[in-house]
A and B are shown apart, each in its own frame.
Chain A
């Protein structure tokens, strides 16, 4: 199972773009990269998922280089409500390993 490493915390200001990078050196061929968001005392919520190159949805973009050993979650123009913990996961079958995530604090 691929282990992920991401920064423990980040600060940003409202309106800025935030990029959170995750490394997953041991990712397997069939694994997907998935990001979740968690607010205090709530369950994690799915943000975005990708296999390679770039994926974009209404919330975020996910950039994955060709070697897939890392990925970057990009949050455009963050607001105070984006303050949360963001988890990078590499998912194969059945087992989710969350790690400790990146605590993003958005400042006014």
Chain B
């Protein structure tokens, strides 16, 4: 079964302190993506990657960066976190095509003070 690992699972940080949330997969999927989930707003896609070194913006990319140097990993980078980035973050694999199921990681709850 598809396994998506995120670290850390919980993080409390302060405004402006750079952080990285890691995401790794065991399925060799080409397609990976990041979402944030906020009350009343559902899940919104931040960035996605179609393959190594190929990334594109989702619906809410401002304030985030990603990299895809190897197929297995897709880290989410917050260069200068702000309180409005306090959210629950999910990494997902798969979903490249209409019939390609997406599998989600366990989530990372981030609080920016």
Using CB atoms and an 8 Å cutoff, list the residues of chain A in contact with chain B: 30-32, 34, 41-46, 49, 87, 91-101
- Contacting pair A87 B42 (CB below 8 A): yes
Within 8 A of A (CB), among B90-106: 90, 92, 95-99, 101-106
Q: Which residues of A contact B106 (CB under 8 A)?
A: 42-43
B22-43 vs A, Cβ < 8 Å mask (1 yes, 0 no): 0000000001010100001111
| Known interface pairs A43-B4, A91-B95, A98-B43; 18 further A-B residue pairs with C-beta atoms within 8 A, sorted by A's residue number | A32-B98, A34-B101, A41-B107, A42-B104, A46-B103, A49-B101, A87-B42, A87-B43, A92-B98, A93-B96, A93-B98, A94-B31, A94-B48, A94-B95, A94-B96, A95-B45, A100-B40, A100-B42
Instruction: Say whether B61 faces chain A, with CB atoms less than 8 Å apart.
Output: no
- Once A and B bind, how many residue pairs between them come within 8 Å at the CB atom? 62
Q: Which residues of A contact B65 (CB under 8 A)?
A: none
List 28 A-B residue pairs with CB atoms under 8 Å apart, sorted by A's residue number: A30-B98, A31-B98, A42-B104, A43-B104, A43-B106, A44-B43, A44-B104, A45-B104, A46-B101, A49-B99, A87-B42, A87-B43, A91-B95, A91-B98, A92-B98, A93-B96, A93-B97, A93-B98, A94-B50, A94-B56, A95-B45, A96-B45, A96-B95, A96-B102, A98-B35, A98-B43, A98-B44, A100-B40
